Structure 1
Amino acid sequence: MLRRREERALRQRKLIERYGLPVACFTMNIPGDTKHTPLVELAFREGLGQFEASLPEAKARELLCAPTGCEAFFAFDHDARLVKQAAVAVEEGAAVGRLYDIDVFDSAGRKLSRGAERRCVVCDGPVYACARSRAHGLHEICARVDALLFSFAAQKLAACARGALVAEVEATPKPGLVDRSNRGAHRDMSIETFYASAEALEPHFERMVRVALENWDIGPAPLMAKLRAEGLDAERAMREATDGANAHKGAIYSTGLLLAGAAIYLRSGKPALAEAARLASVGLSDALDAAAIAPSTHGERVYARTGATGARGEAAAGFPAARKAKTALDGFLAQGYSLEDAAALTLPLIMAKLDDTNVLHRGGEEGLAYAQISAARVNALPVGERFKALRTLDEAFIYRNLSPGGCADVLALALFMRAIGDFIEL
């Protein structure tokens, strides 16, 4: 670590000599031997983005993420005092900012003072007094740093999950589903119902992430038991927010699993989808055997009748339909479609292939065949003609009382994957 500090100082001097401009060095205050994890890098890149967004584009930018930690160096053609003000604003702008360390040097190599002394992450007292007296042990400091990182990651992932649920319901037109234009084949829900549900679920999504971050290494079965309890709480909150309507029960399950998988990735570096699939596989065989004998939910009754495993089978397989949907979604976005239109175009691609247990419950195998064939016909049209065809199909689904809710959950999960794909290895 001493050598790394010397190398940083040398790089700072070289940048100043080369450009003759103020230089900033952005690092993280991470105690202990492990300085770089996916979780630390996520927090680092968040702060880095805020710092760069608050200043003119740098004349030079160097980034390094190594076992010794994450570092970024900048040369700014800007008043050094204003650069330091931006640095302090990022350090003090959020709780996780307590872990950011942004040094600023003027063009003569003088380090600028931040003014007010920084506060201790443990007791909020003057940091230098705590450091000199060794007021807090390493274990106490590490626990506090972990708490800051966990809170930051949980909030970020939960916000992405809520955003995905909102983006799904706003995609229009969607045959038989609630969207901006109508209630679809639902008498008990409107788009406001889904907004209320997504808002109510966000804090529960946060808790799911925290549970997985804190217990990522206890094994799939005990972790799944903890997550299941959080999921039941989330469902109760959804019902309360929607006057009893089932806006997102399936999404709670699939999104919750991927939130947990993402948390495990942040702690271990293991890909999120594989970890989510491991969790979904816990007790699946026994649950399907029980459902075949005494089904108690719509999905279980469909399984007993048709063998379609629904959301649980999809999750245990690593969400193949959602992965394909994300690929399609990315393709439409690359063609210049808005997120709402890209999501609407992706939905019939899902509908044509997925054995949607919601459709099976409402329309039987005949209804599923109709839905899949109709969606395939939409997909065969030139892309520009599909929106009109989807509006026509929406009327037909409403008439037949068909609602591809399982497909909507897959679309929401694909939107969530897209939202986190830049910082979570799927």
Structure 2
Amino acid sequence: MMDDEAYDASQPEVTLYSDGKGRWLKLVGGVQCSEKILFNHRCQGVVGHQGDHWCFGPDGSYQFNPHDSDPRRKHIGFGTIPPGNSEYRTPLEMSRYRFLNFHEDTEITDAEEIARLERGDFKPEEGFDRPCTEEEMEQLRQLGRLESDKNFLRFERSAELKYRVKDFSAKSSTDVITARFDGDVERFSNLETGQSATIDAPLSMQLITEAAVRLTPNIERVLDIGCGAGNNMLKLRHVYGKPFASDLLDLSVPMLARARQRVNEAGIEAVTTWHSDLRDAELPKESYDVVLAAAVLHHMRDDEDWRAAFEKIISVLRPGGSFWITDLVVQETMPVHELMGSRYGDYLEGLGGVDYRQKVFEYIDREDSPRPMTYQLDLLRRVGFAHVELLHKNSCFAAFGAWKE
């Protein structure tokens, strides 16, 4: 529907339709009819059309005012026909059979245009009517109005391949996750084998700490998010060769206590502990030269959670500082995700047998909501990091980071 404020008689109206599966159709009208119907809504036909003056209500109902030449005008006058009625006409039907000389309906095949429409980013002259039905799509196919069924099949295949984030409602709370780690301090206190369930954990730890020193050669203060028993902070201390102020953040009090003890023993006296969730911690702005996050970010949940975490991290880094991640990741496509999951399962079974494999997969399913490495690299750029780096990836685990300008 168009009201007086939106009405511009000199411009064609563009109405968009979707099948809800990534396929979009566009109906371009001529100069609009000036007839007003029902509370000053203007006819959605064009100048010179024959037949009813018409518009569609927000609920999809077809509202019409018969043309002078329409015999119904004498005994019906203005009328409304709801969807489902035998006389209901869709905009596509009207464009094809009544206003064909004034309208052109085509399929949109440009990938960037489709992405824009899927986001709901409509231009001022565009309006979205409603999803097309299967019957309407078939009618367009028979009329030869669909440019490429191959495109449609490609879109469907793409949708089938895409890894989709699962519902978070059944995931463990932070309290439950904390309780599990409270009872696992001794295992995580081993620098080499403390994270045996993580493929290539020692290599990833070595890579992120060496990369941190290369990109941020002057390190005065470091934040370790989800520090556990302090393994990554200790590795950075060893690689850097000098002490630095250490901020340890974790949900587990026993883990924080052990991390503080071990970091002190490594010659770092300036230690600050944060018993907090990253999302709640009031960390000082632009205070850290390096931020580490090892096997912790997979506890973030929805997109807003991830974006807020990365924005917070870049805000606490000093210019020239760097942020380094080792973590569980998923893949962008389901076939590859399943492949990597199978390989990881074989790795776990080799470590501790079938029962150990099942145990690890069960707590991942309960607790974790990882995202693709590519998702995280893109997000790092979007929140403002000048450079991102992929250091290592093996199966479901990756080591990567970013540098703040």
TM-score after normalising by structure 1: 0.23
Q: More helix per residue: 1 or 2?
A: 1
- Which of the pair has the greater relative contact order for Cα pairs under 8 Å at 6+ separation? 1
Q: Which has the larger radius of gyration?
A: 2
Bigger proportion of residues as strand: 2
